[in-house]
Structure 1
Amino acid sequence: MSSSSGWAAMRSFSRDGSVREHRLAPGTLRRVAALARPHRRPLAVFTALVVVDGALVAVPPLLLRHLIDDGVRTGDRSVVVVLALFVAVVALAEAALSLVQRWLSARIGEGLIYDLRSAVFEHVQRQSIGFFTRSQTGALVSRLNSDVVGAQQAFTSTAAGVLSNAVTLAAVLTAMLFLSWQVTLLALVVVPAFLLPARRVGRRLAALRREAMQRNADLGERMTERFGVAGALLVKTYGDDAEESSQFRARVAAVRDVGVRTALSSRVFFAGLTALAALATAMVYGVGGWLAISGAVTTGSLVALAALLGRLYGPITGLANVQIDVMTALVSFERVFEVLDLRPAVRDPEHPVPLPEGPLDVELDDVVFTYPVTPSLVSLGAAESPKDGDDDGEQADTPDQPDRPVLRGVSLHAGAGEVVALVGRSGAGKTTLASLVARLYDVDSGAVRVGGVDVRDVTQAELRRRVGVVSQDAHLFHDTVRANLRYGSPGAGEEELWTALAAARADAVVRALPQGLDTVVGERGHRLSGGEKQRVALARLLLRAPSVVILDEATAHLDSESERAVQEALDAALVGRTSIVIAHRLSTVRSADLICVVDDGQVVERGTHAELIARAGLYADLYRTQFADGADGTDDADGRDGVVPASTPHNCSLGPGTCRLSPVVSPGRPS
């Protein structure tokens, strides 16, 4: 038994046998065939070469038989030379076929991986934000990596292996039966001695393989958490270096121990197969030699039988586990199809309507919305009772009330160029309401209109172009400042970049970086401060030049200096644009054209700051609560906002004890 055949058998038997009982989804094989259709020509050539290569396996032993019987025993040198040349030609042909097969296999396999990965990535990108809130990132990446690779092996490894083993086994058995049926039967009697121990050791190897995957996953998760910027910061501020090292060494030791046990089991398995192959060879030589002495077979036939025997057990062991091999590959296909079958919750209309040019108003008309339940896959980490909501802790629902509407009959209107503020307690539904304007979700009933057009009648690309969003935790990719700025405007030139940065009060920050625009900002932009990230994000927004701007706590958690710079940038960003501003700190929205108080999924109050204070409702209560340490929460007699005293420096954007709060300024209104 050859070394390559032994290791192939070991890999086959070490697969998880539980897939044997798995029931494939209806239509899986048909869909696999459809994926193969674009590659049918190279697949046909590849299949033909596999068949020819498998059949050639039996040729060299038969040539050796004639070389010995018709050349060596008769003393005919010309026969020896000619047959030796034929053996060399066959060997070269097998090598050439192997190279061509490998080239075709790589071409087909990599082409299939390209097709599947592209299809999965594009399909996942079309999913609504709810899909990502319920799916584990690692599980999604696994579908794009291990499952896609496992799927392509159905063509380039599993199917080819099954076909090659079947053809080889047929050719070898035919040749052996032609030479001596007695020796052939004897060789087949030994087969159970190969298969039974292999199955037992294979189950142990499969268990060890699963354990090794789990141990490596634990180790990888540990490293990912600790090597990320956020995790490293937590370790630096709270961690114990000795304890961290101890826990890591324990995980590494577990991986090491599994590796040792796997290596030992594999060696035992391979040594056992090698010993059985040697025993079978000895039996063939013994019985065949006896038959050769008696004249039942020739000496050349005996040598050929021994050579063929070495090519018999590899295909048998490979085919013994063919069901597990095929099912393992098909299950990978099925897992990829699971993702491709997910229907996006938010889809483009068949006949889209363009948004009007110029300023756009925003209208919510009797909107009712409930977060969708389990729109993702359980295998991707989907929660049975989803929770979505504001970054500040707002949740759409609870496990006890998964179907409770988050928004109930909400109606409001933001005129073109106006600033509308949404305020209220955590969990009231503010971010949810703004998310509907950006069409991150679709409403259950009612309508969200931008520029008089229902957002469901507009393509998502068009809506992204006209509606810009800045959240309290602006995300920057691990890339250069230039790439992050151009993410929303790929064609922006150098001058446009610097103009946007200047408008966002971020040009000085970028000029101070080591490579300027070409500086890599690090994972999640951690090379920049919170205020600097916000300003870069605002510059990205200004480059996009949207007609509608959504600011979700854009100045939250910033220090006074950063807040002042960001607020100045916001003042520039809002000019001439319809703005929806979500804020907890009421000081930042007192100059808004309209303030809407959201409570328990409804707009319970609306008006200007002065009107709502005079009404003495929920807004007035929230205002008094925030300024209870010294401000009375009322306006001056001339209608201007009151000055915040020194006792509330946490709400001051210009420094403690000396300033008045910097409000969001609506276009055309003095600050």
Structure 2
Amino acid sequence: MTVTAQPRGQAHLSGTKIAPEDRQQLNQHPVSLRRIAQLFAPHRGAITLVVALITASSAITIAQPFLVREVIDNALPNQNLALLAWLTAAMIVIAALTAVIGVVQTWMSTLMGQRVMHGLRVSLFTHLQAQSLRFFTRTRSGEVQSRLMNDISGMQQVVTTTATGVAANITTVVATFVAMLALSPSLTMISVIVLPPAIWLSRQVARLRRQFTDERQQALAGLHTQVEEGLSVSGARLAKTLGTTERDAEKFTLRSRDLIGLEVRSQLAGRWRMATMQIVFAAIPAVIYFAAGLPFAAETMTIGTVVAFTALQSQVFRPMMGLLNIGVQWYTALAFFSRIFEYLDLVPELTPAANPVRMKPAHLTGEVRICGVDFSYGSGVANRSGSSNDAESPSNTDPASNPESPSTNVLHGVDLHIPAGRTVAVVGPTGSGKSTLAALLPRLYDPTAGTVTIDGVSVDQIHPQDLAQLVGVVSQETYLIHATIRENLLLARPESSDADLWSALENAALAETVRRLPEGLDSLVGARGHRFSGGEQQRLAIARTILRNPPILVLDEATSALDNTTEAQVQHALNKLAQQRTTLLIAHRLDTVLEADKVVVLDSGRIVESGAPSALLNGDGAFAALAARRVT
């Protein structure tokens, strides 16, 4: 999880050394400059205009010292009010013109940067949506969020601030040195001697401050992580149940105490840097004033020239410091692009068909066939195009899906027929592959071998949106967004009326609970639904699926979190909902499968028994043994 207070790598945009993580990122995933250029190709006109504005602004600004020289050497000594008026008016005009150009340049560069970042954000978001569950179970959610938000924000700073700053620094340094040579070649030579040691001293102090700041950021990251984990709903519950509150408080106290020293050192380093800059800014003009008073210069140099030259020299120090950091800034910018392109280059395991079949619920019979299906999580299951994604790994829904055993099949030659409108229950011990089998029907995964079809059409050939309408899933892992009950339900069918919502809640045995809430349907469910009990969360998820009204149901331990009384109510609603629908039921409890038309027993990924529940229960096979042990 990314916990730093700023985007990764952004701390080094103005630093003096290349971040190790940026160097490692670029070594692993090099970036093509042509690919970066393609992002900005549609904005060539805007880029040209921005550079022109920056150049014009730098050139116009250089005129100010020459006006100052004329004021001091001519207008004031000669009491020439007309000339003085023109010169001072020109100063104001130049200042105003420079300010206007700066506003326009900022607007254009920001707008261009925002459009480029918008395109990248949307492309990355939609591309990540296309990734299979393997990617999300392998990758930390904080890492995905960091690249989508923080890294793109860092790239925006590179585009809108750093890039324009480099252009401005170059034009300013070049124009200033030209103006300095025009004013006094001898003083320019002295400046060339004085500036390098001053810049070197400033960079040394900046490097020291960077070190202290990095240590402080790491300490803040640790503190932030503890706050995020310890003061969340789950973290608070864990601490109270394990009795770790005192230990957590002690750990927080130690980290906070360490932060005192780091903060003091960081602030002192910053103050030393400011003091160094003040000394430099005072020393350089002092050297110029002293040089101007030497015999070789005193006879040929006017006071106005000295003042104008000093003003010019004060403008060249900061741009030169900025130019010395171009290498670090460029490396950091490439690292941002590398991290984004790395995700954009991921090959989705589950790719839509080139010419997907459109299937609507109204025209569906609902016959499901699973033919000769093998499945292995492994290091990446080949999709229909033959590609694979080595960066992905499975969910641990079944213990058999152990990523440490990539060659182990979870399912072996499974053949299953679910006639339209019938219910088939799949039972078996933990790790037998039940949930994996259920995940194939909505195409959360593709089988390694074999096919899964609906009405004779392979699920990988059905349009993804149509498949989502055809197959409704209620799993044992309930997920509710941090929003109102109404918003959670409307995810299933946005056009639903309040009457539809209440009807779904009634069928899920949750309506009375919601009515007792002060805000009813507009009550917040809380983070991950923690405002409600596990059973209430499950019933809300069931109501959401009921509202969607799919012709095919996948119920993966849908009543696992309910008490006996509520389970009976919900199971009655699900049985009613399953009428005239094709249902694949995954269950442990015996009483939830007895009303199924057929029971299939899985063991180590193989079907070892199948038949009517009553017949199997009265036999001496695997189902009877499971029932006897009460593990079904």
> Aligned residue for 2:482?
478
Cα–Cα, structure 1 residues 622 and 25, in superposed 2: closer, same or farther, change >3 Å? closer
What's the offset of the Cα at 1:501? 1.6
Deviations 1:116-147 (A, max 9, x none): 22222221112111111011011111112220
Cα–Cα, structure 1 residues 86 and 16, in superposed 2: closer, same or farther, change >3 Å? same
Please show how residues 269-348 of structure 1 align to structure 2 within 5 Å: 269-290=273-294, 294-348=298-352
What's the offset of the Cα at 1:105? 3.3
Cα–Cα, structure 1 residues 410 and 208, in superposed 2: closer, same or farther, change >3 Å? farther
Aligned-partner Cα distance in 1 for 2:13–2:205? 11
SS of 1:311's equivalent in the other structure is helix
SS of 1:497's equivalent in the other structure is helix
Aligned-partner Cα distance in 1 for 2:540–2:519? 15
> Aligned residue for 2:466?
462
Aligned-partner Cα distance in 2 for 1:383–1:25? 15
Aligned-partner Cα distance in 2 for 1:115–1:16? 28
Deviates more, 1:217-226 or 1:592-601: 217-226
- Specify which of 368, 375, 388 is matched with residue 369 of structure 1: 375
Aligned-partner Cα distance in 2 for 1:340–1:313? 41
The answer (yes or no) to whether the contact 1:16–1:206 under 8 Å persists in 2 is: no
Q: Is residue 567 from structure 1 mapped to residue 578 from structure 2 by the alignment?
A: no
> Aligned residue for 1:389?
396
Cα–Cα, structure 1 residues 176 and 128, in superposed 2: closer, same or farther, change >3 Å? same
Q: Is residue 604 from structure 1 mapped to residue 572 from structure 2 by the alignment?
A: no
SS of 1:521's equivalent in the other structure is coil
Matched residue type, 1:521: V
Q: Is residue 351 from structure 1 mapped to residue 355 from structure 2 by the alignment?
A: yes
Matched residue type, 1:369: F
Aligned-partner Cα distance in 2 for 1:412–1:293? 99
Deviates more, 1:313-322 or 1:27-36: 27-36
Aligned-partner Cα distance in 2 for 1:614–1:526? 42
What's the offset of the Cα at 1:431? 0.6
SS of 2:472's equivalent in the other structure is strand
Cα–Cα, structure 1 residues 198 and 526, in superposed 2: closer, same or farther, change >3 Å? same
- Specify which of 208, 224, 234 is matched with residue 228 of structure 2: 224
> Aligned residue for 1:436?
440
Q: Is residue 207 from structure 1 mapped to residue 182 from structure 2 by the alignment?
A: no
- Specify which of 197, 204, 208 is matched with residue 193 of structure 1: 197
The answer (yes or no) to whether the contact 1:49–1:97 under 8 Å persists in 2 is: yes
Matched residue type, 2:309: L
Q: Report the aligned-residue RMSD.
A: 2.5
Please show how residues 620-639 of structure 1 align to structure 2 within 5 Å: 620-626=624-630
Aligned-partner Cα distance in 2 for 1:500–1:387? 33
Deviations 1:513-556 (A, max 9, x none): 11111111111111122222222211111111111111111111
Cα–Cα, structure 1 residues 137 and 92, in superposed 2: closer, same or farther, change >3 Å? same
- Specify which of 593, 596, 599 is matched with residue 597 of structure 2: 593
The answer (yes or no) to whether the contact 1:9–1:318 under 8 Å persists in 2 is: no
Q: Which runs of 5+ in 1 are unaligned?
A: 1-7, 376-381, 628-650, 652-671
What's the offset of the Cα at 1:77? 2.3
> Aligned residue for 1:654?
none
Aligned-partner Cα distance in 1 for 2:310–2:87? 19
The answer (yes or no) to whether the contact 1:471–1:553 under 8 Å persists in 2 is: yes
Matched residue type, 1:396: S
Aligned-partner Cα distance in 1 for 2:442–2:12? 54
Please show how residues 56-71 of structure 1 align to structure 2 within 5 Å: 56-71=60-75
Runs of 4+ in 1 over 4 A off after TM superposition: 8-11, 17-27, 382-385
> Aligned residue for 2:175?
171
Structure 2 length-normalised TM: 0.91
The answer (yes or no) to whether the contact 2:71–2:87 under 8 Å persists in 1 is: yes
SS of 2:416's equivalent in the other structure is strand
Please show how residues 375-524 of structure 1 align to structure 2 within 5 Å: 386-390=393-397, 393-399=398-404, 401-524=405-528
Deviations 1:127-171 (A, max 9, x none): 111111011011111112220011122221111111100000001
What's the offset of the Cα at 1:292? 8.1
- Specify which of 558, 561, 566 is matched with residue 557 of structure 1: 561
Aligned-partner Cα distance in 1 for 2:254–2:539? 44
SS of 1:310's equivalent in the other structure is helix
Aligned-partner Cα distance in 1 for 2:28–2:411? 41
Deviates more, 1:240-249 or 1:589-598: 240-249
SS of 1:12's equivalent in the other structure is coil
What's the offset of the Cα at 1:596? 1.0
Cα–Cα, structure 1 residues 29 and 344, in superposed 2: closer, same or farther, change >3 Å? same
Aligned-partner Cα distance in 1 for 2:82–2:192? 37
Cα–Cα, structure 1 residues 430 and 20, in superposed 2: closer, same or farther, change >3 Å? closer
Cα–Cα, structure 1 residues 353 and 17, in superposed 2: closer, same or farther, change >3 Å? closer
Cα–Cα, structure 1 residues 478 and 385, in superposed 2: closer, same or farther, change >3 Å? closer
SS of 1:446's equivalent in the other structure is strand
- Specify which of 155, 162, 178 is matched with residue 151 of structure 1: 155
Deviations 1:483-537 (A, max 9, x none): 0001021111122112222222222121111111111111111112222222221
Aligned-partner Cα distance in 1 for 2:204–2:429? 62
Deviations 1:261-303 (A, max 9, x none): 2222122123212212211110011102336863222221111
Aligned-partner Cα distance in 1 for 2:60–2:422? 80
Cα–Cα, structure 1 residues 617 and 66, in superposed 2: closer, same or farther, change >3 Å? same
> Aligned residue for 1:12?
14
What's the offset of the Cα at 1:12? 2.3
> Aligned residue for 2:386?
none
Deviations 1:329-354 (A, max 9, x none): 22111111111111211111110112
The answer (yes or no) to whether the contact 1:228–1:523 under 8 Å persists in 2 is: no
The answer (yes or no) to whether the contact 1:386–1:397 under 8 Å persists in 2 is: no
Structure 1 length-normalised TM: 0.86
What's the offset of the Cα at 1:363? 0.9
> Aligned residue for 1:132?
136
Q: Which runs of 5+ in 2 are unaligned?
A: 1-9, 382-388
Deviates more, 1:154-163 or 1:260-269: 260-269
Cα–Cα, structure 1 residues 555 and 266, in superposed 2: closer, same or farther, change >3 Å? same
Cα–Cα, structure 1 residues 25 and 233, in superposed 2: closer, same or farther, change >3 Å? closer
Deviations 1:7-50 (A, max 9, x none): x9997235545457845855532222222234444333322221
Aligned residues: 612
Aligned-partner Cα distance in 2 for 1:459–1:253? 57
SS of 2:294's equivalent in the other structure is helix
Deviations 1:240-267 (A, max 9, x none): 4443332223333334433332222122
- Specify which of 246, 258, 263 is matched with residue 262 of structure 2: 258
Cα–Cα, structure 1 residues 9 and 186, in superposed 2: closer, same or farther, change >3 Å? farther
Cα–Cα, structure 1 residues 494 and 320, in superposed 2: closer, same or farther, change >3 Å? same
The answer (yes or no) to whether the contact 1:14–1:204 under 8 Å persists in 2 is: no
What's the offset of the Cα at 1:480? 0.5
Aligned-partner Cα distance in 1 for 2:517–2:247? 36
> Aligned residue for 1:97?
101
Aligned-partner Cα distance in 2 for 1:543–1:516? 18
- Specify which of 83, 92, 115 is matched with residue 79 of structure 1: 83
Aligned-partner Cα distance in 1 for 2:195–2:115? 38
The answer (yes or no) to whether the contact 1:9–1:314 under 8 Å persists in 2 is: no
Counting aligned pairs with the same residue, the percent is 36
SS of 2:258's equivalent in the other structure is helix
Matched residue type, 2:275: A
